[in-house]
Structure 1
């Protein structure tokens, strides 16, 4: 697991979201290692099928916390921040589109691996795993964008009263 620095935000609401990013990144690193395993040239089909099942299980375990985190952002955080910075253009539009893109990659992976690995060729397995790899890439960049643009914006823009209300709403578990 990569070492992480101290949390950088001071607002409790942003610290909650930042901490959730850390947890989700930890889970992602676990399943991304399996994605990287598939980049080897020589993989036996039986090994690939076993590793695909491991990857599928890890992603299924990841999706619960991810969905809870995303729901918190889309239900509480983005609507509040949008009242300050707008909804029609700007960073919130792109961030929300990335949520849909991530959901699409993960959904595509899960759909194509739903019938089990026993019927898939190595080519089919690799194609499905590429979707998981794309989800990892988009998520990684997405977290960076939120932590370098959206969260600092919220810390500076939101009123003290809104920060407190948001903190109360976000203070729930994603596990």
Structure 2
């Protein structure tokens, strides 16, 4: 039986966000395997179209929980931490920009796959799959930054009463 990875953070709000990252990473790994299939030089046009349709569906299923997660961070977590570390510069600025970058890659992917995928060439599919690949890379680094920089910073800097209030506000489902 597979062991459940231990959550690293002690504060409930940070544990909640960390757990959401684990779920989103699980979903990401599912669609990333399809992204990687487009690197296969022996990929047929038929298989490419099948993989592109599956990739589009899996990304579509990813978007809502991801958006719910980022909305929660932007509405509650970032302002709470920003009260302690500032808003104008530093890690919060970069992290928020990454949210926009991820949205742009995924939006670009959906834009280019909104019409009939059966009309795309294999080269076009490989090019559009790059948007999903870039989103995956930014997301992976993004989660790592939050878990190695922001979450520890929040646990160290924020008062217990603010941690408790943050958890109450964020304790909602993303699915």
**What TM-score comes out, normalization by structure 1 length?**
0.97
* Segments ≥4 residues shifted beyond 6 Å: none
Following superposition of structure 1 onto structure 2, how do residues 49-68 of structure 1 map, counting pairs within 5 Å? 49-68=49-68
Separation of aligned partners in 2, 1:150 and 1:10: 14
How far does residue 21 in structure 1 lie from its aligned partner after superposition?
A: 0.1
Structure-1 residue corresponding to 2:155: 155
Q: Which residue of 2 aligns with 1:113?
A: 113
Distance in 2 of aligned mates of 1:135 and 1:50: 21
Deviations 1:52-71 (A, max 9, x none): 00000000000000000000
The TM-score, its normalising length taken from structure 2, stands at 0.97
**2:174 paired residue number:** 174
- The count of aligned residue pairs is 174
> Once the 2 structures are TM-superposed, how far is the Cα of residue 3 of structure 1 from its aligned partner?
6.8
Tell me how far 1:119 sits from its aligned partner: 1.2
Structure-2 separation of matches of 1:139 and 1:35: 14
- The C-alpha deviation readout for 1:108-157, integer Å capped at 9, x for no partner, is 00110011211111111111100000000000000000000000000011
**How far off its partner does 1:4 sit?**
5.9
Contact between 1:53 and 1:116, CA under 8 Å: does it hold in 2? no
Uncovered stretches (5+) of structure 1, i.e. residues with no partner: none
Q: CA RMSD in A?
A: 1.1
